[in-house]
């Protein structure tokens, strides 16, 4: 047997032996895929935006970024980890969160798109399998916000006011 055949056989045997180990290595070392984020300001004024994500298991904050996005500008912030997370985007005015949208991010999420207009904030989660999720301030999106608040231990509604009438 010549040396070339021996080395080729050893290489094939090593590749076959490691073929099933890739997922185990990724899991052991915490190597995960990424989910890209795009922010589009479709309005006529610059807006300040705060992005946050919390892991569903344990509630650890896994992402926090703040941006000022100019009119007509598109920003590509750092990617999210490909894990189960609650993702939250908020327009910040006078150091207060004025408009907040919350969505669920899962490993089958392929893209998160945030659109800012003069009077609205829309967060769209595009999934490779299944139905896309859109939080745009309609009643269905408010239900998603309430679910995320309950999971994070917040059972208060930001829009409710208490009165002693």
Please check the confidence at residue 149 and state whether its pLDDT lies above 70: no
pLDDT of residue 56: 86
pLDDT of residue 10: 74
pLDDT of residue 18: 61
According to DSSP, residue 20 is labeled G
Lowest mean pLDDT, pick from 6-10, 35-39, 105-109: 6-10
- Kindly compute the dihedral angle of the four CA atoms of residues 53, 54, 56, 60, in this order, to the nearest 10 degrees: 150
How many Cα atoms within 13 Å fall on the side-chain side of residue 145? 21
Looking at per-residue confidence, does 24 or 41 come out higher?
A: 41
Looking at per-residue confidence, does 94 or 27 come out higher?
A: 94
Looking at per-residue confidence, does 125 or 58 come out higher?
A: 125
Q: pLDDT digits over 42-86, tens only?
A: 999 999 999 999 998 878 888 899 999 999 999 998 888 888 999
When pLDDT is cut at 50, 70 and 90, the band that residue 165 belongs to is very low
According to DSSP, residue 138 is labeled S
pTM metric for this prediction? 0.65
Residue that has been written with the tokens 């269905």 in this structure: 140
* Other beta carbons within 10 Å of 3: 7
* Other beta carbons within 10 Å of 71: 13
User: Which pair of structure tokens corresponds to residue 90?
Assistant: 């908020």
CB–CB of 103/149 below 8 Å?
A: no
The number of angstroms, rounded, from the C-alpha of 99 to the middle of its chain's C-alpha atoms is 18
CB–CB of 92/74 below 8 Å?
A: no
Domain ranges of the chain: 42-151
């Amino acid at each position: 047997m010549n040396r070339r055949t021996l080395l080729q056989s050893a290489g094939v045997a090593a590749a076959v032996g490691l073929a099933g180990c890739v997922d185990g290595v990724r899991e052991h070392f915490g190597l995960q895929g990424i989910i890209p984020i795009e922010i589009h300001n479709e309005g006529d004024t610059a807006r300040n935006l705060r992005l946050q994500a919390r892991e569903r298991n344990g509630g650890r904050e896994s992402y926090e970024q703040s941006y000022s996005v100019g009119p007509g500008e598109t920003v590509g912030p750092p990617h999210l980890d490909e894990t189960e997370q609650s993702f939250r985007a908020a327009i910040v005015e006078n150091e207060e969160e004025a408009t907040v949208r919350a969505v669920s991010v899962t490993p089958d999420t392929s893209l998160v798109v945030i659109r800012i207009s003069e009077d609205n904030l829309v967060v769209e989660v595009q999934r490779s399998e299944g139905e896309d999720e859109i939080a745009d301030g309609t009643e269905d999106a408010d239900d998603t916000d309430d679910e995320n608040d309950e999971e994070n231990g917040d059972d208060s509604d930001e829009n409710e006011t208490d009165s002693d009438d």
